[in-house]
Copies of this chain bind each other. A is one copy, B any other.
Amino acid sequence: MDFEPAYTPEQRAFRAEVRAWLDDHVPHVEGDQDSDENYAKYRQLGRDLGERGWLRPTAPVEYGGGGLSVDHAIVLAEEMDRHDLTSPPYYDSGGSLGGASILVWGSEEQKRRLLPPIFRGETVTWQLLTGPEAGSDLASTETDAMRDGDEYVINGTKVFIGGSHGADSFWTICRTDREGARHQNVSWFMIPSDLPGITVERMYLLSDGREGIGRGYKNTIYFDNARVPAENLVGGENNGWKVASTHLELEHGSGGRIARNVWFERTRDRLRSLPANGAHPLEDAETRGLLADLFMETEVQRLFELRNFWMNRTHQDMSYEGPQASYYRKMSGLRASQIMLELLGPYAQLNDAEFDPTGGRFDSYLRNAIVSLHPGGTADIQKVIMARRIGIGRGERERAGRTVE
């Protein structure tokens, strides 16, 4: 066994190249990371990365990707992480998950047309999954796409969408057969966001603008007879549930990640920085015990992600591990937020320039521990999928969805 990534000389050389480039190109921003001005800088970083093939490094070159190996992708992800950035550095769920799904399910023509703008960072794409009626029950979408000549006419509403700076396209699931059987009546579309009949309206949430770049708030999107060309239907009419299984598998955390245990370090260091009242809290046995609890929570979470990263990259047969990591992340995050509340006291709640030097890091963690309970499927849904994969009470154990072609 080996729990550490072992880097090849090639990877080490690539890391040096990436690190130097990022040091030059990652924008230095002041004030609100998510202001329009700062967002524009991150968008430019995305385009610059895309131009070099570093935005979607493993995607094929012919579709605008980098054509690089997984080894390179790991290095890129890790180096972005050092800057506290994801790849892309802004909210682009429809690009990340839609791009991957189109690689599996799109026609050759669609791949050549739809993927390059995404993979090169030229466009931002939002995924539009849930509607007011759908919740976690994606298959029950009531957004309709009805064929009319060479076009589909879209009507309906999608909620909890995107972020604060708009998108170029929407990647979404619609009902294409109102009378069809469940799971056999839905299809996927890539929809230009500027079509007539599309309205975007802001939704304000508990997370309240402090979730990361471009994630300030969510949106409701209304389709009122928006007409999308039929060539933008991906994976075949009424075949949408299969595309969804690819999409959801990726969303449900089977990808894993390698990361430092940053929240333990951050919390301990913040605790150390708090003014003491007599003996420092870190000298108190109970406080130290809470710190140990936080370490346990975060280490288990780190190890589940590490395991999934390894399984995914080495093509191990995955079963319940994806939803397990996802479920654990949600619940462990909630428990960790509670420990922070006890450990740091009311300081954990602050996003106050005078009394909180972290820029609201813990305030944001505490809020997002709640807000993160539902996206990508609620904790309950993760448990339902885990149970199916373990095969509890069923004849057959469910298999994980296809994530590579």
Q: How far is the CB of A137 from chain B (nearest CB, A)?
A: 15
CA distance A284 to B285 in the complex (A): 9
Q: Within A285-321, which residues are at the interface with B (CB < 8 Å)?
A: 285-286, 289
Give the chain B neighbours of A286 by CB distance below 8 A.
285-286, 289
Tally A residues with Cβ within 8 Å of B: 4
Question: Which chain B residue lies CB-closest to A289?
Answer: B286
Q: How far is the CB of A261 from chain B (nearest CB, A)?
A: 24
Q: How far is the CB of A360 from chain B (nearest CB, A)?
A: 31
Q: How far is the CB of A290 from chain B (nearest CB, A)?
A: 10
Q: How far is the CB of A325 from chain B (nearest CB, A)?
A: 26
CA distance A285 to B289 in the complex (A): 11
Question: Which chain B residue lies CB-closest to A287?
Answer: B285
CA distance A286 to B285 in the complex (A): 7
Give the chain B neighbours of A284 by CB distance below 8 A.
285
Give the chain B neighbours of A289 by CB distance below 8 A.
286
Question: Which chain B residue lies CB-closest to A284?
Answer: B285
CA distance A286 to B289 in the complex (A): 8
Residue-wise interface mask of A (249-290) relative to B, using a CB-CB cutoff of 8 A (1 in contact, 0 not): 000000000000000000000000000000000001110010
Q: How far is the CB of A392 from chain B (nearest CB, A)?
A: 14
CA distance A20 to B289 in the complex (A): 51
CA distance A284 to B284 in the complex (A): 11
CA distance A285 to B286 in the complex (A): 7
CA distance A201 to B289 in the complex (A): 50
Give the chain B neighbours of A285 by CB distance below 8 A.
284-286
Q: How far is the CB of A278 from chain B (nearest CB, A)?
A: 15
CA distance A284 to B289 in the complex (A): 13
Q: How far is the CB of A340 from chain B (nearest CB, A)?
A: 19
Residue-wise interface mask of A (341-378) relative to B, using a CB-CB cutoff of 8 A (1 in contact, 0 not): 00000000000000000000000000000000000000
CA distance A340 to B286 in the complex (A): 18
Q: How far is the CB of A288 from chain B (nearest CB, A)?
A: 9
Q: How far is the CB of A21 from chain B (nearest CB, A)?
A: 50
CA distance A277 to B285 in the complex (A): 18
Q: How far is the CB of A372 from chain B (nearest CB, A)?
A: 25
Q: How far is the CB of A280 from chain B (nearest CB, A)?
A: 15
CA distance A289 to B284 in the complex (A): 13
Q: How far is the CB of A342 from chain B (nearest CB, A)?
A: 12
Q: Within A316-335, which residues are at the interface with B (CB < 8 Å)?
A: none
CA distance A391 to B289 in the complex (A): 41
CA distance A284 to B286 in the complex (A): 10
Q: How far is the CB of A279 from chain B (nearest CB, A)?
A: 12
Q: How far is the CB of A143 from chain B (nearest CB, A)?
A: 26
Q: How far is the CB of A254 from chain B (nearest CB, A)?
A: 30
CA distance A285 to B281 in the complex (A): 13
Q: How far is the CB of A124 from chain B (nearest CB, A)?
A: 39
Q: How far is the CB of A286 from chain B (nearest CB, A)?
A: 5
CA distance A52 to B242 in the complex (A): 75
Q: How far is the CB of A296 from chain B (nearest CB, A)?
A: 15
Q: How far is the CB of A367 from chain B (nearest CB, A)?
A: 27
CA distance A285 to B290 in the complex (A): 13
Q: How far is the CB of A197 from chain B (nearest CB, A)?
A: 37
Q: How far is the CB of A135 from chain B (nearest CB, A)?
A: 14
Q: How far is the CB of A383 from chain B (nearest CB, A)?
A: 15
Using a CB–CB cutoff of 8 Å, the interface residues on chain A facing chain B are 284-286, 289
User: 5 closest pairs, A vs B, by CB?
Assistant: A285-B285, A285-B286, A286-B286, A286-B289, A284-B285
5 interchain pairs, CB-CB under 8 A: A284-B285, A285-B285, A285-B286, A286-B286, A286-B289
